[in-house]
Structures are given as C-alpha cells and as structure tokens.
Structure 1
Amino acid sequence: MTQVGEGHETAADEAGPVLTFGAPTAGEVLAERYQLEEHVNNDSAGRQVWRGIDVILRRPVAMVLRHPGGDSAVEMLQAAVAASRVIHPNLVGVYDAIDEQERAYVVREWVDGESLRDLVASEGPLDPARAIAIAHSVADALTAVHATGMVHGNVHPGSTLIADDGRVVLADARADAADSTESDVRAVGGVLYFALTGHWPHTEVGRSALPDANRDSAGNPAAPRQIRAGIPAYLDDLTMDLLDRRVAAPGSDALTAELGRLDAAAEDEEYEDVGPLRFVQAGAGSSSEPIRSAPKILVGVGALIVIAIIGLIFGIRAINNTGNSTDSGNNPAAQPTNAGDSSVQPPAPRPQQIKLTADMVRMVDPPTGDRSDSEQAKYTVDGDPDTAWETQTYNSAPFGRLKDGMGILINLGQPRSLSEVQVLTSAPGATIDVRTGSKDFGDNSEGDKKLVKDFKSLSDEKPEKSTGTTTAFSGFNPDEKYQYVLVFLTSLPPSDEGSGYKVSVNEIKLSGY
C-alpha cells in the first residue's frame, strides 16, 4: 500500500540514504507521542514511510523518516511546515515536523487507499471520466496551495492518492527553486496523460521510474488517443496543451474550473457536448504573476463596465453640446472607437471535427480497381465504431507486387484548412499513410492508379506500423487548404482468425477550421 512520500525521482535527497544505523522498529514511540506500527515502504528519495499511531489523539498517522536530520533535512521540514498551513480536502494533512539531528521525520495524515501509480499498475489505464475526476481534485488542491503563494513541486502519480472512500488527495510537497506554479499546472497534464495511457510523459530515472511515453523521432510523446481508442478529442487536446510549453499554461484556478466543467459533463455522459475549452485566465500560469481568484476577476470586469458606462454618458453629453450636427452618423465623435488594448489578441480558433457523410468517401483499390466491397466505405464515417470497412485476407502483411495498398478517399467538396486525421482500426500493426491531392481522377482502376501515384504523403518519413488501434496524423500545412484526403493502407496486421493478414477500418475522423 503506497502512502505519502512517493513522487518523482529527484536528486534533492541524495545525501539521505535509507535508514540503517539506529533504524526505527515497530513499537518504538517517537517524540513521546507517535508509535511506529508498520514499515510501509521506502520512497524514491530513500526515506522510510511508516504507518503509526498518535497515542495522544488515538488516530492513525503516516510518518516519513529521514537520516540524518540537521542541515540536510531542512528542505523536507520547511516544505512540511509550509504544507501544514494549507487545509483542503484534496491535500494530505500535515500534523508535525521534528528534527532530532540524527534523524528527522514528518507526521502526516494516514490515507487508507493506494496511489494513482499503483492503481494504474494493477487495473490498467482509467476511463476518461475517472481520469478527469482525479485531475480535477489535484488541480483544486493546487489552487489552494498557490493561493497562499506556495508551490507544491511534486505532482506525480506516486503522490496522488486515491482513498478507499473515493477521495483523491495530493501528498508530499517538495518544492525547490526550480519549481513554479506553471510547472505544477503542467504536471496535472502529466497526471491526466498517465491516467489515460499508463505512461508518464516526463523522463524519469531510478528504481521506481514510471513507464515512459511512446515518442516520435523528435522525442515528443504521442497523444493519448494515438495510443488508446475512446478518448474524447477535447480531453486529448487539453492534456497535450498542458504538456506543450509552446502553449501558455492557465492558472491553477482556471484549470480547476475547466476540469470541473468537464467533470460535470462526464457525470452526465455528455462528452460530445462540452464544447471548446474555456480557460478564462489564458497565460495566467506564469510563475512571476500572482494567482487571481474568480471573484477578483469579476470585480475587475464590473469596474471596467461602470467606467465604460460613465464614459459613454459624458461622451453623449459632449456630442449634444457641440450643436454641430443632430445626425450622430455623420459626427466622427459619435462613432465607436477601439478603446481596448490593441495588444490583446482574440484566442486562436480551435479545430472542430468535420461532419463526413457517405457521399464524401469512396474506396481506392489499384491496380484492379475491385469494387466488390465498395459499399463498406460509408461505414468509416457513419459515427458508429462497431461498423467498418473490412479488407480481404491476404497472404502477406505488405501487398507486395499485387498492389501498393488500398484505402479510403475523402472528398470534402471544397478546399478547407485541416488539422488532423484520426483513424480507428480493429487491431494495431497496420501501416497507414495519409496523402493529399488536388483532384479525383475517376472511380475506376486507371483513376485509382493515377491518384495513388500523384497524391503526396503528409510526412516525409516512411510510415510506421501503428502501435494502437487509434492513430492520428497532423502534418497539414496551416497555410494550405485541402479538398482530397486519402487514408491509404500499405501493410496489414495478422488476422485474428488465425491465418493471413487483414484489418478493419472502423472510423475516420477529420478535424479542421
């Protein structure tokens, strides 16, 4: 059972080895108050974690012991004292911090349950609704921490505890000079990623390191829905935006509000109706700026409205007093002016899923142009993952000399700006190449041959076999528009029927602006 003391691998406590000389024993009473009951584990920094009893208040406690104490334990004790000042239902309560020089220890709330790390290790990745609920609780805890001017510094699946009663609590603050409110917020994206995929997007070292994320050639982690089917697009976008340092991080309060909205939608199973993300404090995650609460923002907005109304009244009076014209339409002073801050830019539009219909897709099968199962093409865009276009069974994974491959052509009717293609297949191991072109050369063998030859791949690199059943492609040029998109299979996975190679394409989703 994992309790407090679990977290990311750091070098902060390398000077503190696991207790050996004068090691504590079950039954020993520390500070004439805390009786050690059971050694639970050693955390990633080498500190012992014990379950104990507060013999005065008769309540269970968790105790984190470090050897030696003194100067080398100052950071641990200071973090504990700071954490004790924040009371929140999603934070582990800190009761005491004691330095005996030879050893130091922190006394904390005991939580009956397990860490997110252990939960995912035993049960596998969580469903989206549960992942959202856990991230919401963690973000809410961070909002309380940040409101005091503190930083947590150790948001991690090992320090995220799920109690037996369902409560989610964040433990073991370890902030140092390198941590910030922004790094805390981005770590919530890591917790979401881990809950959804079972992999950690941040590189770790050490004996308790988490499984690393699948990465592309540049080292960037694959999006959750590239690894696992059934993850809503908005949740995938939120997770990746939090991890992407090119995207401004929200404040913890704004993230809590957004996750709360998604949490409520998840309870009602309204995943498709939540709409775009609504961060009200874009860029508020900078560690150099104070965390602002929603009431203060509302007061500020109200004040601006009052000022605007007063300004409008005086402006109208000034216009009426001039006597130059009764037609305000001809009076430049009566025309609205842009009094706002010109440096404030409207938020960039977010891509939306494009509605695809049966008349927009057809099967491509060179060189024979076989159309025996062409009617199945419509199943790839019908919104039902249980229906599919199924290939025939082939003797080898690549099509070889028979043909280069086969696929589905999408005609959007007019050129559009695109952002991503998502392909859901019946099994991993298919090699999929997404290509684009300027025209359809005809629904026949010769047209298919020319189409496959002339269409260009989104990527300059050779397509690789998919590692999951959902694969996303995002190589579209934002300065170009596209009308024709070809989802082309060049290699098949082994058939689940025991012989040959085949696959089904269950859904194709296209996002754009």
Structure 2
Amino acid sequence: MQHSSEGDALAGRYELTSSVAVSGARRQWHAVDRTLARDVTAITFPADDPHAEAALDSARRAAGVDDLHLLRILDVGTEDGTSYVVTERVHDAESLVDLLRFQTLPAEEARRIVGEAATGLHTAAARGLHHLMLTPHDIVRSRDGAITVLGVATDGALAGLDDVPPSVASRTDTKDLVRILYAALTGRWPGAAAVPGLPSATGSSGGSASGSDEGSSDRSVPVPAPSTLVTRVPSDLDSLCLEVLVEDGGPRTPGELARLLSPWSAERVHGVGGRDVALADEEELAAAPAPHRGAATRYFDDADRPTRRRDPDETRQHAVGALPADMSVRDPSLVDLEPPAPGLPSGYDEPDRRSSGLALGIVAVLLILTLVVAVYGLRGIGSSGASGATSTKSPTSTTSSAPSSTTTSTVASGTPIKPVSITSYDPDGNGDEHNELARRAIDGDNNTMWVTHIYRTDTFGSTKNGVGLLLDLGSSKQVGSVSINVIGNPTTIEVFVTNKKTIVGGTPIGTLTNGSGEQTVRGTPRTGRYVIVWITHLSQYSGGLYRDQIAEVKVFS
C-alpha cells in the first residue's frame, strides 16, 4: 500500500473515500471507520520517510492529550510501507482562510479564535507537544463556533522539527498565533512565507516555511500596524501584533498569550470586521485607533507616546455584533491561567524533574502544616467548651453620612426580586461595556461573571466617571437591599434604584467600599423599576491595569 488510493482500507478498517490535501508524499483523506460506522480523517505518508517514526511517536503522545481544541487521535500505525494517523473528523467547519475570503473578522471574534487556539496549544505544550507549522489553514471554526487546531505534533514532526527545544517551540507557536491574529484582523498574512489564499501584509510573495528560529526571518520583513490597514482594531491587539512581530517581544508561550487576550466571549461573535483604511469614510477613520508601538509591559502606557490618539473610552474598542441570548456557558478565559508553582521555571513550559520534585516537597510541607493547625484548632474548641466562655463577633457594617445609605457585609434579607433583563451601563462611553457578558451577573452561577473592559487607572482615565450594570425589574418595585458578589481586589460600587435608566440626579441607597466577596447594600427601601450597579473605582487587575469582575447581583425587597 505504498501508494494509497481511494477505496483502500488502512488496517482493514479505515476506508479511504477521497483525497482532500496533498503535500509532497503526505496525503490527507476523508475516510470511514467501518467498525464504528463513523467519519474520520486519515493522514498517510511513506513508512521510509526519514521523519515517519518521529511523526508516529508524536501522534501516539498526542493521543493522550484531552482538550476540546485539539483533534482526537484515534489510531496510529504502519502497514505495507504506508504509515498513517487517523483522527476524528470535524464536520461543517471552515478554516480561517475560508472565513477571510470576503471580509475580515470582528475584532472580538479574532480575539476569541486565537485565544481558544492558544488554550489548546497551552495544553499540548504541557505534554511536550507543539505545532511548529501553524498557519490560518490549521485553525478551523465549526458552525457552532467551536475552534479546533489541526496538525498538532504531527505536522512539525513530519517537517523534521521534532527536536526543537521546548522554549523555542513554544515561542514559535506563539508568534504564529499572533500572525494568525494579525490575519484575522486585516485579511493579510504577515509572515515571511506565503500562505495560499491570503495576500501578504508586506508585499513579499515568498520565504521560508513557518517554524523558523525565533523571529530571525521576521526582522527583514517589517509589517505595518494592523490599525494602519483596517479600521476598528482594538489598541491592545494592535500593540500585541507590533510587539511580537516587529519588536520580537511580548508573550513567549501560548499560555501567556491566552492570558493577554483574555477575557473573550464564550460564544461566537457576530458582526463585521474593520474596513480598509483607504476606503473607510471619514467618520469611521476618525474613530480608529492610531498606530503605536511599545513593550509588552507598556501596552497601556502612553507616557512616551504623546502623539498617539487615545481611545474614546480609554480602553479597547469593540465591534461586537449580536450574540445568542443564552450566555450561561462558562467562559474559561475569565479565570486567568494559574502562574507557575513557587520555585518552578517561569512561563508555561513543562517543568524539569528537579522542579517537579521541589514542587512536591512544597506541597508535602503545606499538608503537614495544615494538619498541625487543624489539631491545635480542635484542641482549642474543646478547651473553650470546658470553660463555658463564648465569643461572638457581629458582622461589620459601615454607615455613610446619609441616613439612607448603609453598606453591610451581612446576608441580604427580604423577598428576592428576579430581574427580567440586564445590560451593561456605560453612559460616558460607547454604551457597550462587555454587554454580551452581562447576563452572567444574574444567572445564579457564581462561577460565571460579568467583567468590565481593562483600564489604565482605577478611575477610568479622563473621559468616564464610571461604568456598571442596569437591571430591569419589569415594573416599579420596592427595593430594600442588593447583594453583589465581587471577584478580585477591593472596588467602590454605588447602587441606585430609579424609574429611569440613569443615575443623573439620583442618590445611591448604599456604597460598597470594603473589599471583595459577597456584600450587601442596605438602606431605606426605595421604589423603582431599575437597579443600577455603578462602579466608581475599579479593582486592581494586574500590575498597573484595572477592571471589575462581578459574579452575581441579587435584588431583595
């Protein structure tokens, strides 16, 4: 079977039905698993290929990786001079090149696609597996919005790249992911090697294949900022593309890239992408962010770029279209990837044996300390009971100067009032403060959350007084308390009850100022149809960046 053809059956089981791609001696086939009567994909290549054994070994290891973003490998083998890898078939899916055939993607859909792909490659890297040949043809989106990365482990191995050091391999995949982000935003490919179906961002039509050493080929092929090619490019994505592709900085691993891109929508983002700058009308062009450059740690620092045009709301610009109504599915990007354990190497590459032993030792010491504390705690309970002494702490509360404005950490009382709808409240901005995530604040699940955009200061810069959530109770009702579950660091939140969709001229029933967690605003009961959760000071998110995260808002009579 050295030359496979339609109708052949690999291992007497996988019938090849049609050839879908050819690259040298490597072929990709649509096939049918006769045993389980299901569609599969088969990749065949000569068993005497110098890289065949490495590719089979990588495929076997990849079969043990469980991640929804990666193709599941079903079978690996060699028969009659032909080696093969059989994977699951992705139905009703289009590659990123297909999606970009007529127009660019909405910026937040580009963020979502690359963030999901980075998450899958982060999982693979933890098992020592990488792609190393990533192009927009290898990222596919199913009809339901699911993102799948094709060719992890096998493509690079077949190209003879299986011996690349892990740190270099992770950086290569990260740079290729950012190139894909650039292509999704602009419709142009920024790599030195041509990608069929996409025009070059640099005018170059040739070059080496993807997977070259760290950035050496990119230095001679400078790429323009995405915002100079198309409109509606968020400033953080613009900075990221320049930082990685021009200055050879930025994230070094797919995991770090996923952290920078988060949070992204849990569902497919509908809408239109940016327009070509040369064709955009004056109004849209004026709203587009100006190009800028800066180090990864300076994405949001304008001190050394006085000529840069600021975003209207001092944060990302979004072009998000209508989303499905049900946003209750948890978005894994909202929980940041955990940093390495103490003593482990930085980044997200797999730890060596010495570091793994150190981490286990730290865990053992912590377990022993926990047991000691537990023993002394139980002994203390016994002695307290014997003496008959009791100690009671009352919940702390803070009362403002206004008699109707009281903040307390006690559990809310009264009859629950279920809002009929919720939206973000952004009167000083564009009216959309992650509106697609607002439903998560009233879905009854503390594991999902609404988040604000990311800002440079805790007071939103110079163009906003605050942002928040607007809950519609359906009709005018008496509200006595509102419970808010804040995730993260301390923040300041005022709560208003009104009959209009505005806080102008109103007085808050209470203010949260004492930190995070589930807290309750309680004051003199007021009657109104709308409850507005108004954030005036954001919590610190990371370094010099700020944002709020609210898991649940509950209203009580």
Q: Give the TM interval when normalised to the shorter protein.
A: 0.3 to 0.5
TM-score computed with the length of structure 2 as normaliser: 0.44
TM-score computed with the length of structure 1 as normaliser: 0.47
Structure number having the greater strand percentage: 2
Larger radius of gyration: 1
Structure number having the greater helix percentage: 1
